[in-house]
A = this chain, B = another copy of it.
Amino acid sequence: MALMQNVGLPYSEDLYNYSDQKKKDFFGINPSQSVSSCAPRINGCSSRRSLKVSANIKGYKKVETINGKKVNGIHVEGMPFLGQRNTDLIKDSSIEEPNHEYLLGRFVEDRFVYRQSFVIRSYEIGPDKTATMETLMNLLQETALNHVASSGVGGNGFGATREMSLRKLIWVVTRIHVQVDKYSSWGDVVEIDTWVDAAGKNGMRRDWIIRDYNTHKIITRATSTWVIMNRETRRLCKIPDEVKREVQPFYLNRAAIAAEDIDIEKIEKVTDEFAEKIRTGLAPRWSDMDANQHVNNVKYIGWILEVCHAKY
């Protein structure tokens, strides 16, 4: 089936070798403080339409041994729809009904890159008739989660591996940088590629590129850094060796955004004066909660952008 072919597309000239960046340790994580929350803060509202967000991560402590003790044989089941089933469908060329793997994604480039296409829906565009930043970030999230689920190492929950689920560990995002060149319109098809790489010793980097399906041009680039947290103690921990063994085979030394283009300047603390200008009355809604019963990074971005919508 031609539709499912693995294509090594010559996009490498648009991307970057990340080996220098890999040598760095945890990005912007201060190991001396205690975890409070993972609420991100946006670095202003750039007219360049580039979004840089860092989580206010505190409290890197070694809890690996605690995690080790806590392994208690939780039942770890596969994701509800992907994994092997997707592969099975690929083999079956006699399907009479719509093949829903087209609605999902597939591995390309020797399984280093996961690719999924989306049609921008009517309710995913904003007043300017283009896809909102929340939409883009939701699609990035969806692609990332399907990547993990399809990889065969997915555990319970959102994006965790089996070995992570066994240890009650979850990924938390510490930094995300989204650079948009063009926002899509209703009905446009976008093709999202995602892959992962190491970020220091205890982080994982996840990159994405979004292409316009018709022009094949890259219209958005994004990079993010993730670390592991124990969902009960809410403390960050090192990546256990078992988890490293799960994810390392997928590591790809390629960067969606060149290291020199990544703004690593620290976000200024909110001062009393600036706080006065903050929009009030933006209370969380029940509908802001995700399946983990918490407000995820995408919603925070949406809230943040409420104060500077004119530029987005």
Contacts and interface: CB of A to CB of B under 8 A. Distances in A.
Interface string A136-156: 001001100100010000000
A134 B289 CA distance: 13
A76 interface: no
B287 A132 contact: yes
Nearest to A126: B289
A252 interface: no
Given A80-B187, A80-B188, A122 B287 contact: no
A298 B119 contact: no
A75 interface: no
Contact of A119 (B104, B126, B289, B302): B104
A3 interface: yes
Contacts of A251: none
Contacts of A129: 291
Interface stretch (A32-40, A94-102, A253-261): A94-102
Given A80-B186, A102-B99, A281-B281, A142 B123 contact: yes
Interface in A33-50: none
A200 to B, nearest CB: 27
A9 to B, nearest CB: 11
Interface centre among A98, A158, A187, A282 (most CB of B within 10 A): A98
Contact of A189 (B103, B117, B189, B298): B103
Contact of A185 (B80, B121, B134): B80
Contacts of A80: 185-188
A263 interface: no
A138 B121 contact: yes
B141 A3 contact: no
16 contacts: A81-B187, A81-B188, A98-B117, A100-B189, A104-B119, A122-B141, A122-B158, A123-B138, A125-B290, A125-B291, A126-B291, A127-B286, A127-B289, A132-B287, A186-B291, A285-B302
